[in-house]
Amino acid sequence: MVKLLIKDIGEFFIEKETKLVLAIQDNNGDINHACGGNARCTTCKVKFIDGEPQKYTQAEYDKLLQEDAIGEYRLSCQCTVDHDMSVIVLDNHSTSNRPDPGSRPHDNITPPPTWISNKK
């Protein structure tokens, strides 16, 4: 188990390798995931306070490049909780205009990940 702190929500022990967006959602994290966890929408974005992963999926990196958001935020649907980390949820469902947060992302990262190292 590893520790996940979600700012303004709490601190939780999470099974290692859990997808971050699910760890947040399943611990009352109030997060959107409009594209169902496929690195297409950015509504699952988080800011890392601590413990930012050093690797990206190619899909995440391409989306962040497209949005000119490298270094600004990460896509929680493309990260796993594999060590202690602290995050701020940037797109809360409760304050968005979305009727629902989006379909539940798959337990595994989708699309199937190609991992690349931090290119910042």
Interface mask toward ligand FES for 89-108; x: CB under 6 A? --------------------
Report the nearest approach of ligand FES to the CB of residue 2 (Å): 21
For every residue of 27-63, DSSP letters joined together read: TT-----TTSSSSSS-TTEEEEEE---SEEEHHHHHH
Residue 95's CB: how many other CB atoms inside 10 A? Answer: 9
Report the nearest approach of ligand FES to the CB of residue 100 (Å): 13
**Site residues (vs ligand FES, CB under 6 A):** 33-35, 37-44, 75, 77
